[in-house]
Amino acid sequence: MSVLASQQNSQIQEARQWVDPLLTEVSKVVVGQKKLVHRLLTGLLCNGHVLLEGVPGLAKTLTVRTLASCIHTGFQRIQFTPDLLPADLIGTLIYNPRDGEFTTKLGPVFSNLILADEINRAPAKVQSALLEAMQERQVTIGDSTYPLPDPFLVLATQNPIEQEGTYQLPEAQLDRFMLKVNVGYPTRDEERSILDAMATSAPRLHVNPIVTPEEIIHARSVVNSIYVDDRVKDYIVDVVWASRDPAAYKLKLDGLIRYGASPRATIFLTLAAKAQAFIDGRGYVTPQDVKSIGLDVLRHRIGVSYEAEAESITSEVIVEKIFAGLPVP
């Protein structure tokens, strides 16, 4: 092992000292859902927003709130409703008749971790207000622009679109989410453990803070330095390009894709793969890192055609076919 590689490995081990204790602390409250917790951790390490989708009762909100409790940082939970206004989210100008002046009242979005609960229950104008905060990490109120704190992360939950009283999120906003994680039911053994832990009028939901914002920001700089081989980079680009032009890669997906993934998918797929290597304690990215996180990065960035919908072919199926059809370096 070279001296440079040895130094990088020691940097990674030092920077990730809080990772395992954090996962252990979260597991005291959240039974199972290991993939969900790892994806939230990936978003935290990559400074990327995460969208969680699943039917009610799968511990989406509980997991986010527990993760926030394990960090020495600000946390705000915003319940999205059909009558929510942009001012309820970002703040507004309040007129003071005594002084004849306007003062700014900042909204709950000015925090570090934002739990946007049931985000798809709010109308489009609220989603547009959140868009600037997610992308630019700033908010405009009146004529002034206010920067958001660092770290700033939106962890949003939504029920499936078929549920009553929901709105389809705009494609532009979906693309701002680094990951979209489909949250499934626990296994039978996990559900038995949930019964033992939660079937009481006062379940234990207390966890201890494990990590500071400064440690997270330092870990991000280490994640950025993780090595990605040129062949792995080419593999990532091929995966994204195959979603736009599958015929060029001899994939039989003709007429199934309405639009492919954007260049933002290439960036996020690389970053997420680096985070997976960091969580595993490695200083380099493997093709398996790309494949393990690829579905969550790409599922909400590929639009399926009407023909695909008629055949019940989802974007997840298309992503799986792309990974199955491309040669692994």
pLDDT digits (tens, 9 = 90+) for 222-273: 999 999 999 999 999 999 999 998 888 888 888 888 888 989 999 999 999 9
Q: How many residues does the chain have?
A: 329
Q: In Å, what is the CA distance from 138 to each residue of 2, 47, 131?
A: 42, 15, 10
- The total of other beta-carbon atoms located within 10 Å of residue 302's CB is 24
Which of 217, 251, 266 corresponds to the end of one domain? 217
State the residue for tokens 């532009």. Answer: 172
The answer to whether the CB of 318 falls within 8 A of the CB of 243 is yes
The answer to whether the CB of 110 falls within 8 A of the CB of 91 is yes
The amino acid at residue 67 is L
My answer on whether 151 and 240 are in the same domain is no
Q: Angle CA(58)–CA(68)–CA(105) in degrees, nearest 5?
A: 110
Which of 182, 217, 252 corresponds to the end of one domain? 217
pLDDT of residue 292: 93
Band (1; pLDDT cuts 50, 70, 90): very low
DSSP bridge pairs for 227:
284
Q: Which domain covers residue 110, as residue numbers?
A: 3-217
In the 8-state DSSP scheme, what is residue 161? T
Band (285; pLDDT cuts 50, 70, 90): very high
My answer on whether 282 and 234 are in the same domain is yes
Band (278; pLDDT cuts 50, 70, 90): very high
The answer to whether the CB of 123 falls within 8 A of the CB of 167 is yes
Q: How far, in Å, CA of 66 to CA of 37, rounded?
A: 10
Enter the tokens of residue 207: 């966890």
Band (122; pLDDT cuts 50, 70, 90): confident
Question: Which among 301, 309, 175 is positioned nearest to 240, based on CA atoms?
Answer: 301
Q: How far, in Å, CA of 323 to CA of 302, rounded?
A: 14
My answer on whether 95 and 202 are in the same domain is yes
The answer to whether the CB of 109 falls within 8 A of the CB of 76 is yes
My answer on whether 146 and 250 are in the same domain is no
My answer on whether 206 and 300 are in the same domain is no
- Domains in the chain, number: 2
Select, from the ranges 114-128, 151-165, 289-303, the one with the highest average predicted confidence (pLDDT). 289-303
pLDDT of residue 13: 85
At residue 147, the 3 state secondary structure works out as strand
My answer on whether 146 and 164 are in the same domain is yes
The enclosing domain of 257 has a CATH number of: 1.10.8.80
pLDDT of residue 124: 79
My answer on whether 166 and 185 are in the same domain is yes
My answer on whether 202 and 320 are in the same domain is no
Band (99; pLDDT cuts 50, 70, 90): confident
pLDDT of residue 169: 80
The enclosing domain of 213 has a CATH number of: 3.40.50.300
Question: Which among 103, 77, 101, 105 is positioned nearest to 90, based on CA atoms?
Answer: 105
Report the predicted TM-score, pTM, of the whole model to 2 decimal places.
0.88
pLDDT of residue 234: 94
The answer to whether the CB of 138 falls within 8 A of the CB of 146 is yes
Sign of the C-alpha dihedral computed for residues 118, 155, 84 and 130 taken in this order: negative
| Helix axis angle, 263-279 to 34-46, nearest 10° | 110
My answer on whether 153 and 18 are in the same domain is yes
Percent of the chain with pLDDT over 70: 96
Which of 217, 252, 269 corresponds to the end of one domain? 217
My answer on whether 182 and 310 are in the same domain is no
At residue 69, the 3 state secondary structure works out as helix
Q: How far, in Å, CA of 158 to CA of 166, rounded?
A: 9
My answer on whether 167 and 283 are in the same domain is no
My answer on whether 249 and 194 are in the same domain is no
